[in-house]
Amino acid sequence: MNSVDGKRRVHLAFDKFRGSLTQKEINSVLKGILPSTVDIHEYVIADGGEGSLDALFALGWTPIEVVAADTLGSTKKARVAQQVDQPIYAIELAEICGVKWLTRGPNPLHSTTLGIGQTLEALRKRGAREILLFSGGSASNDGGLGVLQGLGIRVLDKKNRIVKFGLSGLKHAASINGDDVTRVRDLYSTITFTMVHDTHATLTGKENCINLFAEQKGLGKLGRYFAERTLRKWAALLQGINPSFDPHKAGTGAAGGVTSPFSALFSSKFTNGFDFFSHETGLANSILPSDLLFTGEGRFDRTSRDKKIVMPTIQLAEKHGAECAVIVGSIAESERDFLAQQRAVKKVCVIADHATTADESISRASEIIVQSFSDQIKELV
């Protein structure tokens, strides 16, 4: 055993179960089931999307208020996070211009990332020396056009007119004003950037953001075809201001390409949300061979194989020779065998298998876990 008192160590690393259980709630359910003979460790984990700010606040970061454009360009107040007593700030795209602001449904042509550029300006004026962008939970497909617009960089059409916001404006982009680029690079020369993403999507290429995510953002088949063409032209413009910019790099397609201008304008690092939070919380360096990890999320589907929380946790357990158990609200049938066949996984518990409706699996999630999985969970330890 790995703890000083001989107890087996159990690590709880869950994503939220959207609309059902928070991390704290699912942890509480597990702690009520697990016997007192185990040593339980809880971790605040996010995948780089919605909920990242709350995770940072739970880790001691301070809420700061900014005023910036939301998803459709309306000015609103929003939160960012500041590391205590440090000029280090974190932006959650979902909070500034994410899906939550689309109260009337998807608007794939006009959703903009303008608010991200405006937030960068607000943080620069506060003396920022490092800025992290958590890019999940987006609604836009604008390739980060709005970021440049929010920074005051003019993007022009063939007639040298400033293009409009969103994908509808991006399709007319023909040039990026070089003087504006030089000015902004000078203003931000002392600031470092880290892109924290929840996907490996690229700006262009086979695994591009349009191919992977634009349908769920409201673009039909024809719209996706033209959007891919638009982003290829946009990639060429970004390479015009930085020849080393690589639109095939994993993460450049995060949030509809919002991270791409950061790569083209500045020296930017890329990491995924799990890696960031597992290092911040110490999870990454805490696993020993006889440990047991519990992880899970509301729904496990094909996208869960990407840089979310469940698969990286399983891989972390596998790396250290530990065991892992997975609890999910529901699972795509195509993924059952995939998940069960992971070497470190000893048990997969699916809440929906013990409910008659989807609503019941959401509303009675904690009750179902206790009633249906308690014995199986105890057997693991």
**pLDDT for the residue numbered 308:** 83
* Residue of 73, 375, 55, 107 lying closest to 223 (CA atoms): 107
According to DSSP, the residues that pair with 8 across neighbouring strands are 38
What does the domain layout of the chain look like in residue ranges?
8-43+285-380, 52-274
**pLDDT for the residue numbered 5:** 61
* Residue of 373, 376, 147, 368 lying closest to 265 (CA atoms): 147
- The size of the chain, in residues, is 381
Angle (CA) 231-270-140 rounded to 5° is 35
Strand order in the sheet with 345-350: 38-42, 8-14, 292-300, 323-331, 345-350
Neighbours of 244 (CB within 10 A): 7
What tokens appear for 48 in the block? 């780089």
Half-sphere exposure of 137 (CA within 13 A, CB side): 27
Helix (H/G/I), strand (E/B), else coil: 105:
coil
Helix (H/G/I), strand (E/B), else coil: 55:
helix
**pLDDT for the residue numbered 173:** 98
pLDDT in tens, the chain (381 residues): 444 467 899 999 999 998 899 999 999 999 999 999 999 999 999 989 889 999 999 999 999 999 999 999 999 999 999 999 999 999 999 999 999 999 999 999 999 999 999 999 999 999 999 999 999 889 999 999 999 999 999 999 999 999 999 999 999 999 999 999 999 999 999 999 999 988 889 999 999 999 999 999 999 999 999 999 999 999 999 999 999 999 999 999 999 999 999 999 998 999 989 999 999 999 999 999 999 999 999 999 987 887 689 999 999 999 999 999 999 999 999 999 999 999 999 999 999 999 999 999 999 999 999 999 999 999 999
**pLDDT for the residue numbered 3:** 47
**pLDDT for the residue numbered 2:** 46
CA distance 268 to 71: 24
Q: What ranges in the chain are assigned the alpha helix state H?
A: 23-33, 52-58, 93-97, 114-125, 145-150, 166-170, 178-187, 209-213, 221-241, 254-257, 260-265, 273-281, 310-319, 333-340, 358-363, 365-380
| CB-CB contact of 304 with 312 (8 Å) | no
Determine whether 220 is exposed, middle or buried from the number of CB atoms within 10 Å of its CB (0-12, 13-18, 19+): exposed
Distance linking the first and last C-alpha atoms of the chain: 11
The one-letter code for the residue type at 205 is: G
Strand order in the sheet with 130-134: 62-69, 75-82, 88-92, 130-134, 192-197, 268-272
| CB-CB contact of 32 with 313 (8 Å) | no
Which one-letter DSSP state was computed for residue 108? T
**CATH architecture of structural domain 52-274:** Alpha-Beta Complex (3.90)
49, 53, 58, 62 alpha-carbon torsion, rounded to 10°:
160
Helices (H) and strands (E) in the chain, counts: 16, 13
Looking at the domain that runs over 8-43+285-380, which CATH code has it been given? 3.40.50
**pLDDT for the residue numbered 278:** 95
* Residue of 3, 34, 81, 224 lying closest to 12 (CA atoms): 34
